[in-house]
Every structure is written in structure tokens, then in C-alpha cells.
Amino acid sequence: MTSDEAPGWRGRIPADIDRPEPLVFGLTARQCLIIAPALVGGWGTYLLLRDHAPSWVIAMALAPVLGAVIAVALGERDGQGLERVAAYALVWARSPKHLVPAPSGQVPGLPRWAPRLRRAPRLEPLRLPASAVTQGGMIDLGGRCAVMIACTTLPFQLASGREQDQVLASFAGVLDGLSDPVQILVQRRSADLSGFTNMVRANADHLPDPALSEAAVAHADFLDELAATHELSHQQVVVVVTAPGSARKAGAALRRRAEDTADRLAALGIRTQVLEGEAAEQVLRASMAAPGVHLTDPDPAEEGPGTEDIHERQKAEG
């Protein structure tokens, strides 16, 4: 049961925690560097033209320019200034849109049979964030390496106030023990209960009591009906611990740091697992693909007997 005891931890976190400190009139250094030259230039233009044109004409001419400068200085999108957004848009517009796999770093030439276009698209090598995953679960990021920790969730709201204080204090200790950047990734994945229900039905006949068998089959039917009428999902939490250097040099120390972080999280009641090679690769594939989409075709050897005959029949019918 949830206790009515209020937790002792209280803290106010501002929404603009990443915003730089203001210098003058609530403006940051970046905003001052953008607005100040525009105001000085506008004042200088007024002093030069005030004897040759009415003040209202000069004001109407300068208002759009100063308004645009102030909008760029004060406006933000996703926490980024508008001038940075415009610079990112320009870089994206100038960058090639056709990326091809090139492990050597050089785009191979087109074969002789490929058609030649008058305006061929610009090709660039496809560079992925992770270049390799070792058997120990070390992910090579090119200058940095990372290790992933799979974690379960914690029913924080169901705990009492004292228990919430203990969890927060322990989690604060976990954060204080970090010396390098750490990413906490929370993904919502659809849950497939077909394997579990099939297992329940297959083992229902082996139960000692017929009533238990009927209850097991009824439970499997209930789960199937629930999956058919509702969208079932579960949350996957992954903590990514990083360190500078290559996986060969910093891998051992990073592995120990990841295990220490996993032990600290386990003290909170969270089940943790430091992912190794194959498990880490599966999590990376699932993170880069949309739900229900496979990045690669399944291995024909794992598709089961008779799969090749089915493919041949489909080709013959097509």
C-alpha cells in the first residue's frame, strides 16, 4: 500500500537549465553580441540620414532589419538559437543526400553496366556512430567507447515517502560516482505474448491436476484475447556508460565502471545486466529500427525446414 508520508526531498529544476547565464537586461553573451552591433548600426544610420529624410521614413526602413535581428537573437527552437538552426539547415542543404556503404572511406566507382546520368547524385560514404561491437560488449564510437546496461523499471510511486527518499539518495550516489557522460535511454516496445501462451498450452497437459490444466489454458486464452483487443507494450531502459579512447585501450576500465554502475543500480532494487556482444548488437539494431521493421533479412538457415521450397514456389507463381 502507498503511504501518505510525504518524501523529504524537494527541489526546483528550472526549465532553461542549459541556458547560459544572463549578462545585461536578462540577455546572454550570445544575444548581446547579436543585438548590440545591430543597434549601433541602426543608430549610426539614423545620425547619417536624419538631415536628408524624415524620422518616420528612417524608422520604417530600420524596423524590419532590427526586428529580424532581435527575433534571431531571442528566438529558439528545441533549445537552439535561430542562427544555429539556420546554420544547421544550410549544412544539411549542402550535404549529400545519397550515402553508400564504403568501409574503406572511398566511394567505389559505378560499374560499366550502370547507366550514366547527366546530373549524377553526389555520393558520400555512410558513417555510422558505432563502427564495431566486441564480444565483451564494447562499442567503438570512433574516439570513444561505450558499454550498455539493460535495466528494469522501479515502481517509484508505490513506495512510501521514506522509501522514496532512500531511492533518491541512492540514485544521487550513482550520479555522483560518474566521471564521464552517461546516456539513459527509455524505449517503448510492443509486447508479443504468443511465445508465452504457446508455452503455457504445451505444458498444460503435463500438470498433475486437470483443474490446473484448465486454468492454464484459460489464462492463455485470456492473454490471447488481451493481445487481440489491446496494444500491449513494455518499456526498455538502457544505461549507456561511455569513456574516451578506443575499445582496445579503455575497454577493460570501462567494463569495470559499467559493472560498478550496475551494482549501484541493483542496490535500488533494479535488475541490471551488462550487455555483451550479441545482446548489445541486438539492442543497437532494435534502437535504430522502427517497431516491426527489420534492418536485415533473416538468415535462411534459421527460417526452418521447407522455407526454400516456399520461396521457390512463390517465385514460380510470380
CATH assignment of the domain containing 264: 3.30.70
CA gap 308, 299 in Å, rounded: 12
CA gap 83, 92 in Å, rounded: 14
Residue 145 · residue 246 · CB < 8 Å:
yes
CA gap 144, 245 in Å, rounded: 5
Claim to verify: residue 86 and residue 148 sit in the same structural domain: no
105 within some domain: no
Q: Choose one of 40, 68, 94: the last residue of a domain.
A: 94
238-260 residues labelled b (16+ CB within 10 A) or e (exposed): bbbbbbeebbeebbeebbebbee
Claim to verify: residue 183 and residue 267 sit in the same structural domain: yes
The burial class, CB within 10 Å (0-12 / 13-18 / 19+), for 133 is buried
Claim to verify: residue 52 and residue 182 sit in the same structural domain: no
* Number of domains into which the chain is organized: 2
Most confident by average pLDDT, 63-67, 185-189, 250-254: 63-67
Neighbours of 164 (CB within 10 A): 19
At 254, the pLDDT band (50, 70, 90 cuts) reads confident
47 within some domain: yes
Claim to verify: residue 146 and residue 283 sit in the same structural domain: yes
Nearest to 134 by CA among 7, 249, 290: 249
Q: What is the CA radius of gyration of the chain?
A: 30
User: Per-residue pLDDT tens for 24-42?
Assistant: 777 888 888 888 889 999 8
Beta strands, E only, 97-222: 98-100, 123-125, 132-133, 139-140, 144-151, 182-190
User: Per-residue pLDDT tens for 89-123?
Assistant: 999 888 887 888 777 777 777 777 877 777 777 78
At 5, the pLDDT band (50, 70, 90 cuts) reads low
> Is the model's pLDDT at 253 over the cut of 60?
yes
Claim to verify: residue 61 and residue 149 sit in the same structural domain: no
> Is the model's pLDDT at 200 over the cut of 80?
yes
2 within some domain: no
User: Per-residue pLDDT tens for 142-184?
Assistant: 788 888 998 888 887 777 778 788 888 888 888 888 888 888 8
Claim to verify: residue 140 and residue 37 sit in the same structural domain: no
> What does the pLDDT average to over 200-217?
88
126 within some domain: no
Nearest to 249 by CA among 144, 99, 136, 111: 144
Claim to verify: residue 254 and residue 164 sit in the same structural domain: yes
Using a cut of 0.95, tell me whether the model's pTM lies above it: no
Q: What is the pLDDT of residue 13?
A: 62
123 within some domain: no
DSSP state of 176: H
80 within some domain: yes
> What does the pLDDT average to over 236-258?
85
* β-strand pairing of 98-100 with 123-125: parallel
Claim to verify: residue 160 and residue 258 sit in the same structural domain: yes
Average pLDDT, the chain: 79
Q: What is the pLDDT of residue 222?
A: 92
CA gap 103, 21 in Å, rounded: 44
171 within some domain: yes
Helix (H) or strand (E) run with residue 241 in it: strand 233-244
Domain range enclosing 145:
132-191+232-291
> Is the model's pLDDT at 300 over the cut of 60?
no
CA gap 176, 221 in Å, rounded: 48
What are the cell numbers at 291? 517497431
Nearest to 83 by CA among 40, 129, 35: 35
Claim to verify: residue 34 and residue 89 sit in the same structural domain: yes
Nearest to 3 by CA among 156, 158, 160: 160
Claim to verify: residue 152 and residue 237 sit in the same structural domain: yes
